[in-house]
Amino acid sequence: MNTLWRWEYPRYDPKSERLVEAMCTLGNGRFATRGAAPETVADDIHYPATYLAGCYDRLTSTVAGRAVSNEDMVRLPDWTALRYRCLPDGAQPGAWLTPDHPTQRHHRVSLDLRTGTLTRRMLFHDSDGRRLGVTHTRLVHMADPHLAAQRTVLRAYGWKGRIEIASVLDGDVVNAGVDRYRDLAGRHLINHRAGVEAEGTAWLSCTTSTSHIRIGLAIRTSALSLAPVSSACTDTTSTQTSVLPIKPGRPVVFVKTAALFSSLDRPVADPLDRSIRYAANAPDFSSLCASHRAAWQRLWSEGELRVAGEPGRILRLHAFHVLQTLSPHTAELDAGVPARGLHGEAYRGHVFWDELFVLPYLSLHFPETARALLMYRHRRLPAAREAGRLAGTGGAMFPWQSGSSGAEETQRLHLNPRSGRWLPDHSHLQHHVNSAIAWNVWQYGLATGDAGFMHGPGAELLLHIARFWSSAATWDAGLGRYRIRGVVGPDEYHDAYPGATAPGIDDNAYTNVAAAWVLARALDLYGDLSAARRADLLAQLDLGANDLGGWADISHRIYVPFHDDVISQFHGYGDLVELDWNEYRARYHDIRRLDRILEAEGDTPNLYQASKQADTLMLGYLFRPAELTRLFARLGYAFDDRLWARTVAYYLDRTCHGSTLSSLVHGWVLARQHGAQAWRYCQEALLNDITDVQGGTTGEGIHLGAMAGTLDLVERGVVGLDPGTDGLHVDPVPLTEIPGSAFSVCYLGHRNLRISFRPGRFGISAPPSLCGPLPLVLPGDRHVHVAPGQERWFRTTGPRPPSDPV
């Protein structure tokens, strides 16, 4: 039974098992293990896998006659693997038991969000009346990021005898978790060695093929020390087998405790030696559980979002997956925000723009983790500058897909599974990722007041990205405007004009407006710097102080296209053909991946006014209406609520929502408009992964941006929190289905600020601290302060006198 803190799958369904495995992944921000049954191996139903943050490797494949190089997040050896079979007295040995065995009669998977543990219960019942109950409990330790453990309890009912148990450490694994990639090379691990120490600790070492990351993994299996153990090792696998007595009332209990190290760890040491010693000396399972629970309790105290009812339960699940992918341990790593978490191999574990939807939540709850993720980008600033140089621009051109080095990792070919054809991929032209990084830098600075970062790495990121946009913008004398040509917007479906031989479209409205915003903010930050720091940055940028006047000019005169009294997604969008949406829905029902449908028909979305996901409307996600009005006024364009309402309605009718982020953005934008359909899209955003709305994609990895975005939807959207230079702004957007919420945030050095939101009321409690009074900006531009140790409540609707504590 599902509860506020428990997520359950009460029956076994092979068709949905990969979804269960992804949704039941356990991690600690350093590594994660999918929630696969330990009895299984990778096949069409199951996919046991463990992934280490930042562990990538590159292989070359032959695709459509071309050599294609891809960098992947590497699937590591399986530490969970377990085999067992019954040896009843006077009977022949049974088969190895798995969830797919015909004698399996009961199966329940339970994910405990409060404690970060996964429990799988099974009951096997054979034709002779013998029953075997199996309970697995697993954790990936949140306090010690090198440890994981799995306890298995076997209970006999109606028989006695022995049970044969094989504890396996399996290094014979390949990356094969995404059907679309199965024709590509996937064997990343080489130079395997396996063995068992004299005291019984099994171990395995291996190395990634081309990145040469050394992996050490060791297993201590407790119960096997109570009986004779036979060990069998191959180059890639270590197996320890024992036969133990079992009878009713005398269960067999054994524990696998795993230790994982790699050459990515600091300080540098031999991963295998460290893993063996760590596993051998690790605490027992009950002690591990206690310290693991305590670590999760601390995480929840800082990261929980409390909302009533089913939405609250789903939001807690989303927070769980965000926290175990990007925990405080992540702050110690050189790792970015993997778009699909550490939960599967979709998108090859790469880092996209999804951090745009993740870092706002982290900046308000775990600012140290947010800072570390921005430092992942800063460490790759030299690679982005080199990419800009090779592209003929100045500044930093960050890649659409990033992995280990900061080089562009976007594939140049992608497979349409509907047609079976490999097609050119131009998504590397999504240069708007640069503005996403800059926006996150700015938001982090507003939330934390971290001047050391903003005047140091933050300024370098922001100004180098601004330099890129100033170089990418070209003057059009006919328009009297600057234009940015040859890009792909967030929509992704439109990667060229009809009949064009070169990829890219011109003047994507979101890209252009966001670039203008970046240039303006870069100038603002530059103005706050010391003279010495300004000179340093100008030297890095190879600019003179007078060159910044050009930035200001571009930020005032970038071109934004319009047609039919709405903002055009890009120049010429209004000239494209209207799609017969009703016909395609009638023929295909699910048209979320309209691009694949059209290509399989020999057609292309480049011909149509049809978008995969929110594109122009992303402006309404980043900027509140008042800021949008100021942005367009700076550019010399009229903008008001009516224009924006027409624009929202226009694209709502022309979007097929082929991305999980689309419903999130549409729900957010419509909620700000008090639109009637807002909850429909918000609800879809909540359900995206748990119901696998995109049809089989969640089993390949969760959609981390969409999950974190739903948390942000409540905190910054519904409650209306918005860190500003003059205080923490509160401007609620009431949503009937989420009438109240409670959570804690960090702001300008204040920790654990308790926020309570109720219809028409907003409360905040500031714990005692050395920080000064907390500045708040309430609706109606009311400026108030909350002193440390004080709790205050305010009205957010109705008459608003200068100060109206309730």
Order of all β-strands in the sheet with 229-233: 82-88, 161-170, 237-246, 229-233
Round to whole Å and give the CA distance between 55 and 37: 24
Residue 11 has φ and ψ, to the nearest 5°, of -150, 160
Residue 208: both structure tokens together: 């990634």
Chain centroid, CA 530 distance in Å? 36
Q: Is 492 annotated in the active site?
A: yes
Helices (H), 609-758: 618-622, 625-634, 641-652, 660-672, 678-687, 704-712
CA gap 55, 236 in Å, rounded: 19
Measure the CA–CA gap between 644 and 157, rounded to whole angstroms: 67
CA atoms within 13 A on the CB side of 325: 34
Tokens 């690790």 correspond to what residue? 282
Q: How far is CA 125 from CA 17, 37, 157, 246, 389, in A?
A: 21, 18, 9, 16, 67
**What residues contact 61, with CB distance under 8 A and at least 6 apart?**
67, 68, 69, 70, 183, 184, 185
Tokens of 408: 């562009």
Residues 6+ apart with CB under 8 A from 154: 84, 132, 133, 134, 163, 246, 251, 252, 253
**Secondary structure (3-state) at 438:** helix
Between CA 339 and CA 318 the distance in angstroms is 14
How many Cβ atoms from other residues are within 10 Å of residue 558's Cβ?
26
CA distance 398 to 395: 10
CB 34 within 8 A of CB 49: yes
CA 394 to chain centre: 30
Q: Specify whether the CB–CB gap between 542 and 464 falls below 8 A.
A: no
Contact of 333 with 213, CB cutoff 8 Å: no
Would you say the C-alpha torsion 513, 362, 380, 175 has a positive or negative sign? Answer: negative
Indicate which residue of 21, 39, 345, 492 is catalytic: 492
Q: Is the peptide bond before 802 cis (omega within 30 degrees of 0)?
A: no
Quick one: 166 exposed, middle or buried, by C-beta within 10 A (0-12, 13-18, 19+)? middle
Query: Catalytic positions, please?
Result: 492
